[in-house]
Amino acid sequence: MAARKRGRPRSTQADQSLREAALQLFVEDGLEAMSMQKVAKLAGVSKLTLYRRWSSKEELVRDVLAHLSEQVPIADTDSLRSDLLALLRAAYLASTASPAGQILPRLVGEIASHPALLDVYQQAIMGPRLHSLYQLVERARARGEIRHEISNEVASAMMAGPLFYHLVLIQPLGGPEVAQLLEQLADAALYGIAVSSQAE
């Protein structure tokens, strides 16, 4: 018979509450201003419960980022323009629906001061999303919709780059809502990467 572990089993609900609180405070205040005490208070648990799971706020934030790796499948509509519009709309909605979606502007600023966050960001957030984007590009290439001299990396950058730029740099400064620009962004990207019949 296996020996029974001592102590109480960890609460999944407490883990989730603490991650949600840490994410909210990280987005609102940044890593320097947030504290373990604030996280515990917002989550409604004791600091002892928090420190049993994570020894520092840096470790907690890295764990929170790692848990944001869930990816939403990119639509396959048999049309590059329709696929791209679906991608842009889904990314825009995700960026405005929750603190998880609003983390990009904060991360861009925090990575300069905390380089360790960059590896987690690349592996947990950008890696899975780039993989899905490359799949979209490869499907479009197989249908003959992308110019043969444009690499998958360049095509992906031209599709995702404008949205990233607007969400991170333009909209927070009071620029136009990205929702109003999605079709223009899609058509501008297509003009640069698609064969002429697709870009028209």
CATH class of residue range 12-66: mainly alpha
d(C-alpha 183, C-alpha 62), whole Å: 35
Residues of the chain with CATH 1.10.357.10: 80-199
Q: Is residue 197 pLDDT above 70, yes or no?
A: no
Q: Which CATH number fits domain 80-199: 3.40.50.720, 1.20.1080.10, 1.20.1050.140, 1.10.357.10?
A: 1.10.357.10
Residues with Cβ within 8 Å of 3's Cβ and at least 6 positions away in sequence, in order, are none
d(C-alpha 103, C-alpha 172), whole Å: 12
pLDDT tens string 130-180: 888 888 999 999 999 999 999 999 999 998 888 888 777 776 667 667 777
